[in-house]
Amino acid sequence: MPATDFQESSSSPSSFGFSILSRRRDQVHSMESTHEATSQEIELEAFQRQVAERFQDLAAADSHELLSIPWIRKLLDTFLCCQEEFKVIVMNNKSKLNRPPMERHISDFFERSVKALDVCNAIRDGIEQIRQWQKQLEIVLCALGNQRSIGEGQFRRAKKALVDLAIAMLDEKDSNTTLAHRNRSFGRHNAQREQRSFGHFRSLSWSVSRSWSAARQLQAISSNLVAPRGNEIISTNGLNVAVFTMNYVLLFVMWALVAAIPCQDRGLQTHFYMTRQFLWAAPILSLHERILEEVKKRDRRNSCGLLKEIYDIEKCARHMNELTDSIHFPLTDEKEREVKQRVEEVRRVYVAIRDGLDPLERQMKRRKMIWATVLGIKRVKSLNLLDGPSYLLKKLQFSPYQKKNIEQLKGIDTIIAKSKQAKNPTTAQRVNTPGALERPRLAEDLSSVYNPSLMQMLGAAKRASNFILFKDLWPPNSLKSKGK
Amino acid sequence: MAENGEEKLIAVARHIAKTLGHTNTMTEDILRIFSNFDGRLREKLSDDGVKQTLNSLDRKISCFISADATIWSNSADFYSFLDSVDQLTAAVREWTPLADDKNISSSLDRAEDLLQRSMFRLEDEFRALMEPGAKSPDSTGGGAAHHPDYSDEDDDASVEDDDNCVPVAQPVTDYDVVVDALPAGTIGDLHEIAKRMVAAGYVNECSQAFSPWRKEFLEESLSRLGLQKLSIDEVNRMKWTQLEDEIEKWIKAINVALRILFPSERSLCDRIFLGFSSAADLNFMEVCRGSTIQLLNFADAVAIGSRSPERLFKVLDVYETVRDLMPEFELIFSDQHSLSLRNEAIAIWKRLGEAIRGIFMELENLIRRDPAKSAVPGGGLHPITRYVMNYLRAACRSRLTLEQVFEESVAPSVDCRDGDDKALSSSSSLGVEMAWIMEMLECNLEAKSKAYREAALCSVFLMNNWRYIVQKVKDNELGTLLGDDWIRKRTAKVRQYHANYQRSSWSKVLGVLKVDSNSTSPSGASKSLKEKLKLFNSYFEEICKTQSSWVIFDEQLREELRISVSGNLLPAYRSFIGRLHAAPDIGKHMDRHVRYSVEDIEARISMLFQGTSSGRR
């Protein structure tokens, strides 16, 4: 599908999100003429546009490129860029993101991100799986590639590798059912012997348990993902549009990865909330549609992954198989030429995979790492930097070793300097009902009168809290045992 | 002429060989002797020699290849087979440069075909040897990890080895253990096969026969150690107590894996692929990769998870475990193939550090957000003070680790193993963090004290809490971190609050007892004395009534406070009573006016600050 389609479709209904932001900006202009609000809204609009542009770029891929390793890498790059831009928005709007309803949207996003991290882990296993197949191709090349003349022996070797490859790919596809039958005990070699050829390519999905399902994970990511309504957009200054956008991008990228790369219980029936009101919706939904069409194609329906290179493996393995079946010795010159041709085909596929997988895996890992770090820090930092520079200045006054700490804080300071925000922590305070107070003696007494947030923390620390609060018996068991 | 003669010589040589050699092998041998004898013969005889060498090898090898039973079960057969394969490989290598010759070329094809069939057979043999329980049909599993000193006795190939397969999932105290997954004899056999397969270019097939069982063995071992495969999502949803148990199991499992299982696998790879270091590295990585990722993923999930403060101690455990295993990671995953696993371990270790810093930030948040309105009755110790102080004290037991963690946030590339000598200088970051948390607590307590309407009670509240803080800080790591100066200032603060209390609570009473030197007329004086006494009685009554319900949690402080109150009040009261005696119209009716004797006052004061239990009754 050519890229121009999206331009067309984006011009009419998809500018809805936009227009609301603009309208809001107009209101702000007329009422209070605040420049800050404008810059924030410009930032949000830019985010929408950038996401849309990136996905238009992805959607411009022709059917040959779509779902190839280079395309997947581009998809990951796109995701990271969106993530980075989103991060900036989060940093600039911390104070707003810490208040309802944005607080809830952000924590929903974190939840989805955690689920997506699991998908990434499974995808990494899938990449490893493809690498195993690559090894079988290597054997085929080794057997038939560099030979002076091709004899029966080499063909037998290649054939065996092809059979193993077919079993491995089949195995991956049925991993769910076969894995369930696995007997988890050491004394099973008799049974194992019979299915030896199956056993030694057993796919091992390391990251997740056998019951884990990519389909269910995608379902969980997509649940409750609905475009924000107009009044919500206005009340959050459009911030929830940014969060929704990031959520949607996250869902689509994970879905596309699962579609392309083998992983446990792939299922692509995830419901995609159909929305046309955003700039980026058209290219994403078009990609979604095109990938679904790929699924429906007859020769791909039973595939273990829509990755173009997997298709190439299947294809060249099939050709090679047909060839080995039809071959008689001694080889005619014509057959020999055909063999050479097929071997070249295998080599091309092999090289594409060899050269593509390593960077892809590195990219996966790197993305995963950056992302996990961001996730972890953000959980707290978004709350903690509420006070802005004053928090840090105060901290500086303390420092007995100021030099070091100034270095440490400079980085954060510049980030904060960018954000102009309220530093009033009182808004964050929770509801509190002191009531008639009795002198607290037990945790249970306390819970009725004491601040819920702290009590939550205490209640959760069940084992420790009694010691901490009321008996002063420390350390808890874990620390005691460490002492030795 | 010469050529003719040569041809004759060759013909004779052939004839001799055929006549003398009753079997093909013998003929072949004789021809070989001849060709070694004279270089001219070699060339001319080779054609035939090639065929015959091949025929002989073919016969021997085909016989082995078609055998139903495993070849390795008879070691004489096994070595004879390997010998033949060696000869075949050598022959192929020797003939390949001569492949332009039509005759040699066709023999070479046959030889390669034979070689390929030998390799298939070797692969099967290899796999059969690798299989758990291959050498003992009735394996039951559940064996023991063996100490190297007696496990090596299993040289005899028929000794059951399955027992050696499984490490025991019992508490491991001694990590100086090697799992001998396979008996030494088997390993030797495997090495012999691997050597041939690698030499013949079948390294991929060999590692496919090798790694799956070992991989499975590791996976099995981890599951026997109680480790589940958990996704990040599952870890995140888990109840904390359950997760604590998982962390315990994980700590055991990763220690066993890095200290026993992986090194054992490493040595197994090194022994089987002896002489082929690249193949050994590759296979080792293949075997350990999955288990390592499983182990690291769990730590990753813990690092990503919630930052609630009570998690600190377990996250510290995980952090310390990974840190302490870093030398093992670096040692085991040092080759180029497994380097990425080591790097991942380092990254997750750092991330755990971030998680710990995050937990402290979360603690700050909780302190800061704790509502100011919730005042404790009687101005006693606030739960938040107890919680925070005990929490920090407990945290400071892991001071060295925490210093490392906070130091990392300043200089990300701090090497942990220098930790000890840096201990003193690196206290800065953690010290700042602790001081900051104390500051948060101080602000929060100040805000909370405003909830008391009486200034004196406000002072009592702060006095109580600061007394507790100072007590908790003294004589431990926390105090060292905060420094003597900090403690001194806070002790002074307690004294300040004490003085404030005295002033706001007792100055009015003491003021009543002051001698009014202005009035000179005796009747007027005694009248004012009477009124003053009345005032005193009511003030004192009121103070005692309210303050007996106030709380001073610390006995010593309570005593100090009473003593200082008595010390101020009693002399003034005594002299006031004395003046009453001296007053003409009151002295006679002292009983009517004076409600409290000095002793009574003292007794009442000693009843102050007892809390609600003895309070308002």
From chain B residues 36-95, the ones with a CB under 8 A of any chain A CB are none
Number of domains in chain B: 4
Answer whether residue B16 is part of any domain.
no
Return the higher-pLDDT residue of A420 and B530.
B530
pLDDT band for position B13 (50/70/90)? low
B70-86 in b/e burial notation, b at 16+ Cβ within 10 A? bbbeeeebbebbbebbe
Return the higher-pLDDT residue of A130 and B41.
A130
B391 in Cβ contact with A465 (< 8 Å) = no
Best mutation target, A207, A254, A365, A371, to test chain B (most B CBs within 10 A):
A207
B575 interfacial to chain A (CB closer than 8 Å): no
d(CA B199, CA B276): 10
* pLDDT tens digits along B249-265: 999 999 999 999 999 99
Per-residue model confidence (pLDDT) at position A466: 31
Return the higher-pLDDT residue of B243 and B613.
B243
d(CA B384, CA B389): 8
Pick from B110, B233, B391: which is nearest to A114 by CB? B233
d(CA A357, CA A144): 24
Return the higher-pLDDT residue of B526 and B404.
B404
Per-residue model confidence (pLDDT) at position A257: 93
Residue B307 to residue A379, Cβ atoms within 8 A: yes
Q: Do residues B78 and B185 both lie within one domain?
A: yes
For residue B393, the chain A residues in CB contact (below 8 A) are 474
From chain B residues 137-196, the ones with a CB under 8 A of any chain A CB are 137-142, 162, 165-166
Largest CA distance in chain B: 171
Best mutation target, B223, B304, B408, to test chain A (most A CBs within 10 A):
B304
Percent of chain B with pLDDT over 90: 35
Residues with Cβ within 8 Å of A252's Cβ and at least 6 positions away in sequence, in order, are A272, A284, A287, A288
Per-residue model confidence (pLDDT) at position B325: 96
pTM attached to this predicted model: 0.77
Answer whether residue B462 shows pLDDT above 90: yes
Answer whether residue B318 is part of any domain.
yes
Q: Do residues B370 and B343 both lie within one domain?
A: no
d(CA B280, CA B274): 7
- In sign, the C-alpha dihedral spanning B395, B401, B406, B407 is positive
Interface contacts A/B by beta carbons within 8 Å: 271
Per-residue model confidence (pLDDT) at position B53: 82
Per-residue model confidence (pLDDT) at position B106: 82
For residue A395, the chain B residues in CB contact (below 8 A) are 432, 436
Q: Do residues B339 and B418 both lie within one domain?
A: no
Residue A461 to residue B310, Cβ atoms within 8 A: yes
Answer whether residue B594 is part of any domain.
yes
Residue B387 to residue A394, Cβ atoms within 8 A: no
Best mutation target, B233, B396, B427, to test chain A (most A CBs within 10 A):
B233
Return the higher-pLDDT residue of A67 and A390.
A67
B289 interfacial to chain A (CB closer than 8 Å): yes
Q: Do residues B577 and B510 both lie within one domain?
A: yes
Mean pLDDT of B505-520: 75
Per-residue model confidence (pLDDT) at position B23: 60
Among B284, B268, B422, B267, CA closest to B342: B284
Per-residue model confidence (pLDDT) at position B141: 37
Answer whether residue B112 shows pLDDT above 70: yes
Pick from A376, A453, A467: which is nearest to B355 by CB? A376
Q: Do residues B422 and B511 both lie within one domain?
A: no
Give B551's strand partners.
Answer: B610
Residues with Cβ within 8 Å of B63's Cβ and at least 6 positions away in sequence, in order, are none
Q: Do residues B443 and B492 both lie within one domain?
A: yes
Residue B409 to residue A474, Cβ atoms within 8 A: no
Mean pLDDT of A197-224: 72
Of A16-20, B159-163, B290-294, B531-535, the one with minimum mean pLDDT is: B159-163
Per-residue model confidence (pLDDT) at position A327: 84
The residue among B458, B480, B502 that closes a domain is B502
Which helix (H) or strand (E) element contains residue B9? helix B2-20
Among B134, B136, B114, CA closest to B124: B134
d(CA B413, CA B401): 15
pLDDT band for position A399 (50/70/90)? very low
Closest approach of chain A CAs to the CA of B380, in angstroms? Answer: 8
Tell me the three-class secondary structure of B84-118, residue by residue: HHHHHHHHHHHHHHHCCCHHHHHHHHHHHHHHHHH
Best mutation target, A368, A451, A470, to test chain B (most B CBs within 10 A):
A451
For residue A429, the chain B residues in CB contact (below 8 A) are 369, 371-372
Mean pLDDT of B68-90: 87
Residue B238 burial (CB count, 10 A): 16
Mean pLDDT of A298-307: 80
* pLDDT tens digits along B264-288: 999 999 999 999 999 999 999 999 9
Answer whether residue B44 shows pLDDT above 80: no
The listed range with the strongest mean pLDDT (A461-475, B38-52, B118-132, B176-190) is: B118-132
Answer whether residue B163 is part of any domain.
no
Mean pLDDT of B333-359: 91
Residue B429 to residue A151, Cβ atoms within 8 A: no
* pLDDT tens digits along B414-423: 444 444 444 4
B175 in Cβ contact with B201 (< 8 Å) = no
Q: Do residues B281 and B306 both lie within one domain?
A: yes
Residues with Cβ within 8 Å of A361's Cβ and at least 6 positions away in sequence, in order, are A124, A127, A128
Answer whether residue B40 is part of any domain.
no
For residue A472, the chain B residues in CB contact (below 8 A) are 386, 390
Alpha-carbon distance values, A203 to A176, A198, B227, B376 (Å): 10, 10, 19, 61
Residues with Cβ within 8 Å of A214's Cβ and at least 6 positions away in sequence, in order, are A119, A122, A258, A263, A264, A265, A266, A267
Q: Do residues B493 and B370 both lie within one domain?
A: yes
The residue among B353, B381, B404 that closes a domain is B353
B212 in Cβ contact with A202 (< 8 Å) = yes
For residue B233, the chain A residues in CB contact (below 8 A) are 114-115, 118, 217, 220
Residue A475 to residue B229, Cβ atoms within 8 A: no
Answer whether residue B482 shows pLDDT above 60: yes
d(CA A68, CA A459): 51
Pick from A369, A454, A465: which is nearest to B384 by CB? A454
pLDDT band for position A150 (50/70/90)? confident
Residue B394 to residue A474, Cβ atoms within 8 A: yes
Best mutation target, A147, A212, A369, A439, to test chain B (most B CBs within 10 A):
A439
Among A249, A256, A246, CA closest to A288: A256
Residue A478 to residue B351, Cβ atoms within 8 A: no
Q: Do residues B222 and B181 both lie within one domain?
A: no
CATH code (residue B573): 1.20.1280.170
From chain B residues 457-486, the ones with a CB under 8 A of any chain A CB are 483
pLDDT band for position A193 (50/70/90)? very low
Mean pLDDT of B487-491: 92
Residue B232 to residue A118, Cβ atoms within 8 A: yes
d(CA A254, CA A288): 12
B246 interfacial to chain A (CB closer than 8 Å): no
pLDDT band for position A75 (50/70/90)? very high
Among B110, B63, B105, B113, CA closest to B84: B63
Q: What is the dihedral of CA B104, B110, B111, B115, to 10 degrees?
A: 160
The three-state secondary structure class of B551 is strand
Phi/psi class of residue B391: alpha, beta or left (left: φ > 0; alpha: ψ in -120 to 50)?
A: alpha
Tokens (6 digits) for B320: 């310390």
Q: Do residues B496 and B557 both lie within one domain?
A: no
Residue in chain B lying closest to A391 (CA): B436
Per-residue model confidence (pLDDT) at position B410: 62
Owner of token pair 């990763």: B254
The listed range with the strongest mean pLDDT (B274-283, B449-458, B469-478) is: B274-283
Answer whether residue A407 shows pLDDT above 90: no
Percent of chain A with pLDDT over 90: 27
The three-state secondary structure class of B610 is strand
B419 interfacial to chain A (CB closer than 8 Å): no
Answer whether residue B99 is part of any domain.
yes
- In sign, the C-alpha dihedral spanning B257, B263, B264, B266 is positive
Answer whether residue A18 shows pLDDT above 50: no
Residue B432 to residue A400, Cβ atoms within 8 A: yes
d(CA B224, CA B253): 9
**Residue A22 amino acid letter:** S
Per-residue model confidence (pLDDT) at position B6: 62
Q: Do residues B495 and B433 both lie within one domain?
A: yes
| Domain residue limits at B258 | 210-353
Residue A399 to residue B428, Cβ atoms within 8 A: yes
The residue among B502, B529, B545 that closes a domain is B502
Q: Do residues B186 and B214 both lie within one domain?
A: no
Residue in chain A lying closest to B315 (CA): A478
- In sign, the C-alpha dihedral spanning B602, B606, B612, B617 is negative
Of A72-81, A383-392, B465-474, the one with minimum mean pLDDT is: A383-392
Answer whether residue B555 is part of any domain.
yes
pLDDT band for position B28 (50/70/90)? low
Per-residue model confidence (pLDDT) at position B38: 59
Mean pLDDT of chain A: 68
B122 interfacial to chain A (CB closer than 8 Å): no
Tokens (6 digits) for B79: 């070595």
Answer whether residue B388 shows pLDDT above 90: yes
Mean pLDDT of chain B: 81
Percent of chain B with pLDDT over 70: 78
Answer whether residue B395 is part of any domain.
yes
B409 interfacial to chain A (CB closer than 8 Å): yes
Note the Cα B516 to chain centre separation in Å: 75
Answer whether residue A191 shows pLDDT above 50: no
Mean pLDDT of B430-442: 90
B598 in Cβ contact with B577 (< 8 Å) = yes
